[in-house]
């Protein structure tokens, strides 16, 4: 997964986070039913737990980019337990209210 996008070649400030990074944060927000500010803290904690010193998109960045992101974010229905698997191939949810397929980030 590319967290920081390559240069776009356009004038102006370059984006700090790739679409995949934004989608990963927003997918975790949806899966766990978190507000955006809590989602950023959750992603930061996950990255620290796995030993990655990556910057996490802040609330404002997520709020702006979710409006223009060309990705379908899944809706999680149901209230039962959810098993979330994260590996090098992406994010996969299993259990009641699970997403169909996996969310590749």
Q: What pLDDT was estimated at residue 104?
A: 42
Instruction: Using alpha carbons, select from 100, 25, 31 the residue that is nearest to residue 65.
Output: 25
The pair of structure tokens assigned to 103 is: 């969310």
Q: Which residue has the tokens 């790739």?
A: 18
CA–CA distance, 31 with 72 (Å, rounded to integer): 13
Other C-beta atoms lying within 10 Å of the C-beta of residue 26: 22
Give per-residue pLDDT as tens, 15-50: 888 888 898 898 888 888 899 899 999 999 999 998
- Angle of the 19-32 helix axis to the 59-68 helix axis, nearest 10: 100
0.85 exceeded by pTM: no
Q: What is the DSSP string of 15-52?
A: PSS-HHHHHHHHHHHHHHT--HHHHHHHHHHHHHHTT-
CA–CA distance, 81 with 12 (Å, rounded to integer): 45
Name beta bridge partners: 84. Answer: 93
Give per-residue pLDDT as tens, 53-94: 889 999 999 988 888 887 665 555 666 666 666 666 665 555
């Amino acid at each position: 997964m590319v967290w920081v996008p390559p240069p776009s070649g356009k004038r102006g400030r370059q984006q700090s986070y790739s679409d995949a990074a934004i989608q990963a944060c927003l997918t975790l927000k949806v899966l766990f039913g978190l507000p955006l500010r809590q989602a950023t803290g959750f992603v930061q904690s996950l990255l620290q737990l796995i030993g990655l010193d990556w910057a996490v998109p802040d609330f404002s960045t997520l709020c702006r980019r979710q409006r223009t992101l060309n990705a379908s974010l899944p809706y999680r229905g149901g209230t039962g337990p959810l098993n979330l698997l994260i590996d090098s191939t992406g994010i996969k949810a299993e259990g009641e209210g699970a997403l169909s397929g996996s969310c590749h980030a």
